Amino acid sequence: MLYKLYLTAPDKETMDAKLLEWGFVDDEGQSVSRVNVFPVGVIWDVEPEYNEEGEVVTPGVKVLGYHVNVTCSNPALDCSELVLGGTDPETGEELPTDTKVVQGVTTCLPKTPALIV
């Protein structure tokens, strides 16, 4: 099973601690076998607007927090608590698609194609 997770924490330190606790990274912060952790740059709630010279006309609004995308196909790791949307592989039931908070980290589905890995 391949999991694609879109996670947000209040800051990098919180995210790093949870990624280690959940087994996605090792003590050096490197992804473990069959897991990829991708730090995300800025996520815009409202994109900034620019003029023809590339100057900001209307400032954008950033989504607060530190964001990472995680893909995990490591069978030793249980990602079920973090998964949103799709179908439960065991029951075939539809999973909720709302954002939820798990141990201080928000898990969500991406709202823009730019966030799909």
Q: What is the C-alpha radius of gyration for the chain, rounded to an integer number of angstroms?
A: 16
Asked whether residue 87 is assigned to any structural domain, the reply reads yes
Chain centroid to CA 95: how far?
A: 17
Please count the structural domains in the chain: 1
* CB-based contacts of 26, cutoff 8 Å, min separation 6: 20, 32
Question: Is there a domain that residue 116 lies in?
Answer: no
- Domain assignment present for residue 117? The answer is no
pTM of the full structure: 0.75
pLDDT tens column, 38-73: 999 788 888 899 999 999 999 999 989 999 999 999
Torsion sign, CA atoms 107, 109, 114, 117: positive
H helical segments located in 8-115: 12-21
Residue 49: which domain range?
3-111
Q: What is the pLDDT of residue 96?
A: 62
73 within domain boundaries: yes
Judge whether 94 lies within some domain. Answer: yes
> What backbone phi and psi angles, to 5 degrees, belong to 105?
-110, 130
